[in-house]
Structure 1
Amino acid sequence: MTMTVPTPVPGSESSGSTTTTERPAPATGSDMPRAVTVLVFLRDRGIFLLWGLLIVVFAFWASPYFFTIDNATLVANAAALTALFAAGVGLGIMTGVLDLSLPGTAAIASCVCGWLLTHGYPTWLGLAAGLACGVVVGVFNGLIALRGFNPIIVTIGTLSVLSGLAAVVAGGYTFPGLTQLEFMGTHRYLSFGTFSGIPAPVFIVAAVFVVGTVFLTRTRDGLRLMAVGGNAEAVRRAGIKSSRYTVLGFVISGLLASLGGLVTTAVVTEASPSASPAIIFSALTAVALAGVALTGGRGSLPRVLVGALILATISNGLTIRGIQPYWATVATGALLLGSLMFERVLQTSVSNRLMATANLSVHEKKG
């Protein structure tokens, strides 16, 4: 498809005469070559195909225990905690924020909630205080980052501070026996027949990802957050306060981290001041598998969820086969490297084919 653009003829400005040249218009979905369409599909939907392939492989390799409803709920429950933290990391990266303080935020939220519950305060107050910790941490990180400091260094420092504060709140110990949180941790819902039910964290994760996806793709603030992640300077020149959305990105990331800490507390019925670095490693792995661009401005929360499910699927399948857990770490690391290389190859192929198509269109028009 071409569009005609009037171009002045040199030397004829005084007579006002013009001639027309034809320039190739941007390719639309219908004009895009089939090969490019396939490559774009693989880039944007390949992670869903990968998860489906893993399910098929384990369904045969780990038969008959893997492909059952009860085992599916185990995979979903195992992926839930990773998914919550991955949502915080992924949404932060998409909006131009890389928050490495998530383990510390989870620890302080867990300990504050645990302290309140063990001292007789109502459950709703403990949960609200834990979530408020995430908001406060997010605002703190955001305001410091706006001063020009490197967000990675800032959040690493915050991680250290929060880990120490969590230990201070807990007095160096843990808060055990928090049965008040069973409704969002160990309790199961929608039970029928011999099926024991769906774990509560699965419902929490589903709600978070539905709300987060709608927010990012259907609301003005969500679209602006993504725009700030892609190019904060361009957004600022458009008259939008990009600093406000940078802080908002930190706040959402901190809020999701504190929610992850509270759900973890509910699952194990214990609040611990330990800020495990494995949390951030698993979350970053799920985000990288989802193809979220570390430069910001591009990504998808549903793909992040599938990334967490892939990690849980691999771990579950290997466990059923009796393979040592550390091989799951090896497998996910190799899968991560492979997915990064695959995405790079796909991205390069798409760019090259689009350029070749545009050049061919120009040459055909000139001929």
Structure 2
Amino acid sequence: MTKNSEHEINNQIAEMTSRTKHRLGLNYIARYQSVIILFGLFILFSFLSNRFLTVGNLWTILRQTSVNLCIAVGMTYVILAGGIDLSVGSTLGFAGAVTARLLKYGFTMSTFGVVLQFGVVGASVIGILAGLIVGFLNGFIITFFNVPAFVATLGTMTAVRGFVMLWTKGYPITKLGNTFNMIGSGWFLGIPTPVWIAALITFIGSIFLRASRFGRYVYAVGGNEKAAILSGVNSKATKLVTYMISGTLAALAGLIITSRLDSAQPNAGLQYELDAIAATVIGGASLSGGKGTIEGTLIGALIIGVLNNGLVLTGVSPFWQQVAKGFIIIAAVVAERIGKRGD
């Protein structure tokens, strides 16, 4: 072997080593992008506001994040299966309105002259069932009529919002009682009740996704639906269940926010679907399906919560909050694309 050929081989080895290091760096950024963003926001706002790192404010962030996290966990299942759910905000408002009206006024059967009264548990269960039904309708329309998820859930978003207005007659339903208020405003063992609820949903959602056969089916359908079908996976049933999960968790979030406000507002949940999608995407989920985790969604929801809270404390206009949120979503998607190039 001549010296020139040996030198050429060494140069090739050095170039391959450099490319490998570059790919590893890109993969590292893509894998931990959400954690890096969250850590950066904590540092930034701790310098900009001396109230940010106080115990009271941190509980406020977690309490506010809990609503979005419940919705985002359900959204994660839908996106992992290759879908999207734009109706979660309307579902939240609908479930809250149903629960509040049953709790305060009951249900009148004028034909029989009967008025059914509901306690907190009964009204809450029916409110959650209302969200489950909306999710079922979404999944049924998408899977059995092959309607694009964007179009189907956009339609149900509009229709369900109309039902909210009809159910409430355009007026808030208030004074729902101290027992119901404990769901959104109470504390248990020194921790806000909504935080307990969101933590439980996140834990169960993560275990179910990682350790169950259904969780594997969700990843399979979102990654390659045709291959999943050939492997014996019922893709229609899998997608249907993901939308039912999304509707149910959106309804649970509706109970939390209705309880916290002690009021079912006709416009409750407006644009909440955007925050849920943002949390999921920022957390590393791919909008094309098959990639993402509940843990990543948790970090994404915390990023949204910290961003909203920090910008309020620093006196930034709510309009700039939307701008900042949009740029973070774009950055997350770009980082994902860069990570794919490095694979």
Question: Any conservation in 2 of the 1:163–1:275 contact (CA below 8 Å)?
Answer: no
User: What is the match of residue 245 of structure 1?
Assistant: 238
1:264-316 residue CA offsets vs partner (Å, 9 max, x unmatched):
11111111232543211222222221221111111011111111111221222
User: Quick check: 1:61 aligned with 2:39?
Assistant: no
Task: Give how far 1:207 is off.
Answer: 0.6
User: Quick check: 1:258 aligned with 2:251?
Assistant: yes
> What CA distance in whole angstroms lies between the structure 1 residues aligned with 2:277 and 2:45?
24
**Aligned match of 1:167 in 156, 162, 165?**
165
Change (3 A) 1:232 1:331: same
User: What is the match of residue 122 of structure 2?
Assistant: 125
What SS class does the counterpart of residue 185 from structure 1 fall into? Answer: helix
User: What is the match of residue 102 of structure 1?
Assistant: 88
1:116-159 residue CA offsets vs partner (Å, 9 max, x unmatched):
10124111111110111121112211111122111211111111
Return the letter of the residue paired with 1:294: L
Task: Give how far 1:34 is off.
Answer: 4.7
> What CA distance in whole angstroms lies between the structure 2 residues aligned with 1:266 and 1:276?
14
Task: Give how far 1:190 is off.
Answer: 2.7
User: What is the match of residue 80 of structure 1?
Assistant: 66
Return the letter of the residue paired with 2:38: W
Q: Which moved more, 1:327-336 or 1:91-100?
A: 327-336
User: Quick check: 1:235 aligned with 2:228?
Assistant: yes
Q: Which moved more, 1:79-88 or 1:32-41?
A: 32-41
User: Quick check: 1:41 aligned with 2:38?
Assistant: no
> What CA distance in whole angstroms lies between the structure 2 residues aligned with 1:336 and 1:235?
30
What SS class does the counterpart of residue 277 from structure 1 fall into? Answer: coil
Q: Any residues of structure 2 matched to 1:275-290 within 5 Å, and which? A: 276-290=269-283
User: Quick check: 1:216 aligned with 2:215?
Assistant: no
> What CA distance in whole angstroms lies between the structure 2 residues aligned with 1:71 and 1:49?
21
Task: Give how far 1:33 is off.
Answer: 4.3
**Aligned match of 1:145 in 136, 142, 147?**
142
> What CA distance in whole angstroms lies between the structure 2 residues aligned with 1:166 and 1:224?
34
| TM-score, scaled to structure 1 | 0.80
> What CA distance in whole angstroms lies between the structure 2 residues aligned with 1:163 and 1:319?
28
Task: Give how far 1:215 is off.
Answer: 0.5
Question: Any conservation in 2 of the 1:182–1:266 contact (CA below 8 Å)?
Answer: yes
Question: Any conservation in 1 of the 2:78–2:239 contact (CA below 8 Å)?
Answer: no
User: Quick check: 1:201 aligned with 2:200?
Assistant: no
Question: Any conservation in 1 of the 2:90–2:270 contact (CA below 8 Å)?
Answer: no
Larger radius of gyration: 1
Task: Give how far 1:35 is off.
Answer: 4.2
Return the letter of the residue paired with 1:163: R
Question: Any conservation in 2 of the 1:107–1:273 contact (CA below 8 Å)?
Answer: yes
Instruction: From the two aligned structures, give the one with the greater helix fraction.
Output: 2
Measured on the aligned residues, the alpha-carbon RMSD in Å equals 1.8
Return the letter of the residue paired with 2:313: I
> What CA distance in whole angstroms lies between the structure 2 residues aligned with 1:323 and 1:250?
36
> What CA distance in whole angstroms lies between the structure 2 residues aligned with 1:239 and 1:310?
38
> What CA distance in whole angstroms lies between the structure 2 residues aligned with 1:243 and 1:314?
37
Question: Any conservation in 2 of the 1:110–1:273 contact (CA below 8 Å)?
Answer: no
Question: Any conservation in 2 of the 1:137–1:251 contact (CA below 8 Å)?
Answer: yes
Q: Which moved more, 1:263-272 or 1:86-95?
A: 86-95
Task: Give how far 1:322 is off.
Answer: 2.7
User: Quick check: 1:336 aligned with 2:329?
Assistant: yes
> What CA distance in whole angstroms lies between the structure 2 residues aligned with 1:239 and 1:82?
34
